[in-house]
Amino acid sequence: MNLEKVIFGFFVLLAATLNFGFFIGDISDPELHNIYELLAAVVVSLITTVLKFGDRTQLGAVHLATSLVADLQLVAAGVVWVFAVHVTATGLSPNSTAAMVSLSGGALVANMVSVVLLVVETASFRRS
């Protein structure tokens, strides 16, 4: 068993599941979307991106691209939250929550593509 592949797979799946946990629920209800779960999703997604830098294959490049897309959208969702809570007078409104959750949904799609790539890569692996 390759420990590096186990760690890589762990972080890819953890990024996807944390993102899914934040995304699930009524899109405009701030009570259903925990900001700490979004923070955890951002941190794990960034760790996953760092782990993807070592792979020099074409599949590795696509893995990195999906991770960068997820990072960008999750960070943007965090910026929406910071702006809504600390800049605007209205606080976390249904509109800002919907924007935040929509951005995390885009990141979730990127994470799902990464998971599918991981499964395809694992399924095509031949023992020698």
Question: For the segment 51-97, what is each residue's pLDDT rounded down to a tens digit?
Answer: 988 778 888 899 999 999 999 999 999 999 999 999 998 889 999 99
Task: Decide if pLDDT at 114 tops 80.
Answer: yes
Angle between helices 3-23 and 35-52 (to 10 degrees): 150
Task: Decide if pLDDT at 49 tops 70.
Answer: yes
Runs of H (alpha helix) within the chain: 3-23, 35-52, 58-86, 94-123
What is the predicted pLDDT for the residue at 96?
A: 95
What is the predicted pLDDT for the residue at 62?
A: 93
Q: What are phi and psi of 27, to 5 degrees?
A: -60, -30
The rounded distance, in Å, linking the Cα atoms of 28 and 37 is: 16
Percent residues over pLDDT 70 in the chain: 98
**Does the model's pTM come out above 0.75?**
yes
The rounded distance, in Å, linking the Cα atoms of 8 and 61 is: 15
Percent residues over pLDDT 90 in the chain: 80
Task: Decide if pLDDT at 128 tops 60.
Answer: no
What is the predicted pLDDT for the residue at 127?
A: 62
Task: Decide if pLDDT at 20 tops 80.
Answer: yes
Mean pLDDT of 104-113: 97
